């Protein structure tokens, strides 16, 4: 019962840390996951007889480790992941495979590959291939340390081991570090199934062939080669020419050519603008007549306008006559409207007639 109660309390802590992680409370999640791992791997609260190497205990290590890894990434402390795992799990071989792969891939993706190679090599070297079926932790039977035995599986499946091999060989050595020779050498000596060995070797040789092909097609010279070439050309120039005057004399024609080209381009651009101010000279015996292009163009425009007016003379007359008639009619209407008021001729005598009738 004690073991069951202790496990239940740890699962509650793991679920709480997962809740912190889901709520993006990375600091709280990382702190709780670290304390839980310390209890699992270091403290005396859980003994080997209570936890042993059962599936539940390994699930605790796996779940807590995943929370820790993701929390550290959320905090921007990706470069610390592998060091924290090694510290909390006591030994590299104690780290669950999925936790190890997740932390490794996080560091590689953040360009923090420092120490990843040594970390994976240490993990892979801890296992021995037995009967072509599974991997056994080296010294598992002889190691009597309670914390180490409680913190690790002593048996690893082939698929799990090969997942780590794939990341180490193809992703880290061949891709990130571009060290194909080391990758090929490691695969040739590794204790892995022969079928998987041949598959990895084919992939690595294909990458190597592709690299050699790209180099044979002609790669750009390295910065060091360019620097040496520039130095050698400069030395040859100093030896052949001798002095700064000679250098100036050598480069002066090039500068003159550049200047001439610039002036020519500028002339081509300005020429259309200057054309308007050019003049044409007409000679009649000893007499000369100088006419500018501007005057010629203006004269042509005037002639064109006169020609248009002559052709449209009748139409313009009609339009002008129509406008005059409209104006005359408007004035006439206004005049008639102003003097159209009718005055009653009897209005002046009506008051007198009324007064006469009153006298009678």
Which position has the token pair 């091999």? 165
3-state secondary structure of 4: helix
Determine the pLDDT at residue 207: 87
Determine the pLDDT at residue 153: 67
Determine the pLDDT at residue 186: 94
Question: Residues 6 or more apart from 171 whose CB is under 8 A from it?
Answer: 105, 108
Determine the pLDDT at residue 307: 82
Determine the pLDDT at residue 341: 52
Here the tokens at position 306 are 């006169």
Determine the pLDDT at residue 235: 43
Calculate the alpha carbon distances from 7 to 3, 14, 58, 63, 146 in Å. Answer: 6, 10, 12, 13, 18
pTM of the model: 0.55
* Number of Cβ atoms within 10 Å of the Cβ of 127: 21
Produce one character per residue of 317-351: b if its CB has 16 or more CB atoms within 10 Å, e if not.
Answer: eeeeeeeeeeeeeeeeeeeeeeeeeeeeeeeeeee
Q: Where are the alpha helices (DSSP H) in the chain?
A: 2-22, 26-41, 48-51, 55-74, 81-88, 97-109, 116-124, 146-150, 158-166, 180-189, 194-216, 223-241, 244-274, 293-311, 313-338, 350-359
> CA 193, CA 187: separation in Å to the nearest integer?
11
> CA 47, CA 54: separation in Å to the nearest integer?
12
Provide the β-strand partners of residue 127.
Answer: 137
> CA 191, CA 212: separation in Å to the nearest integer?
29
| Residue of 50, 40, 53, 71 lying closest to 3 (CA atoms) | 50
Provide the β-strand partners of residue 279.
Answer: 292
Produce one character per residue of 282-291: b if its CB has 16 or more CB atoms within 10 Å, e if not.
Answer: eeeeeeeeee
Determine the pLDDT at residue 66: 95
3-state secondary structure of 292: strand
| Residue of 113, 21, 20, 33 lying closest to 65 (CA atoms) | 33
One digit per residue, pLDDT tens: the chain, 360 residues?
A: 445 667 888 999 999 999 999 999 999 999 999 999 988 887 544 544 444 446 788 889 999 999 999 999 999 999 999 999 999 988 898 899 999 999 999 988 887 778 899 999 999 999 999 888 889 988 754 443 443 444 446 888 999 999 999 999 999 998 888 889 999 999 999 999 999 999 999 999 988 888 778 777 755 444 444 444 444 444 444 444 444 444 444 444 545 555 556 556 555 554 455 444 556 666 666 666 666 667 777 888 888 888 888 877 778 788 888 888 888 888 888 888 877 655 555 555 555 555 455 554
Per DSSP, 198 falls in state H
């Amino acid at each position: 019962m004690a073991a069951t109660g202790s496990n239940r309390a740890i699962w509650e802590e793991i679920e709480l840390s997962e809740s912190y992680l889901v709520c993006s409370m990375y600091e709280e999640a990382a702190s709780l996951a670290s304390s839980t791992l310390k209890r699992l791997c270091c403290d005396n609260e859980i003994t080997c007889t209570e936890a042993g190497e059962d599936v539940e205990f390994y699930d605790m290590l796996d779940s807590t480790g995943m929370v820790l890894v993701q929390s550290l990434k959320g905090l921007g402390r990706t470069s610390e992941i592998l060091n924290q795992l090694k510290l909390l799990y006591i030994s590299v071989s104690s780290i669950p495979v999925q936790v190890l792969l997740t932390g490794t891939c996080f560091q590689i993706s953040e360009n923090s590959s420092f120490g990843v190679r040594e970390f994976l090599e240490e993990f892979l070297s801890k296992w021995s291939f037995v009967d072509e079926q599974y991997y056994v932790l080296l010294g598992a039977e002889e190691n009597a340390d309670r914390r180490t035995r409680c913190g690790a599986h002593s048996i690893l499946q082939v698929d799990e081991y090969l997942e780590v091999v794939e990341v180490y060989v193809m992703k880290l050595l061949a891709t990130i570090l571009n060290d194909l020779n080391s990758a090929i050498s490691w695969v040739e000596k590794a204790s892995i199934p022969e079928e998987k060995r041949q598959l990895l070797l084919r992939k690595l040789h294909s990458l190597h062939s592709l690299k050699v092909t790209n180099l044979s097609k002609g790669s750009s010279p390295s910065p060091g080669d360019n620097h040496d070439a520039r130095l050698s050309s400069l030395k040859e120039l100093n030896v052949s020419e001798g002095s700064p005057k000679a250098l100036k004399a050598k480069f002066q024609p090039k500068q003159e050519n550049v200047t001439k080209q610039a002036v020519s381009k500028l002339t081509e651009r300005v020429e259309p603008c200057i054309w308007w101010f050019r003049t044409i000279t007409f000679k009649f015996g000893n007499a000369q007549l100088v006419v500018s292009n501007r005057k010629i163009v203006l004269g042509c425009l005037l002639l064109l306008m006169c020609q248009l007016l002559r052709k449209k003379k009748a139409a313009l007359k009609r339009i002008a006559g129509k406008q005059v008639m409209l104006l005359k009619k408007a004035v006439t209407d206004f005049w008639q409207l102003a003097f159209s008021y009718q005055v009653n001729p009897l209005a002046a005598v009506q008051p007198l007639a009324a007064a006469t009738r009153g006298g009678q």
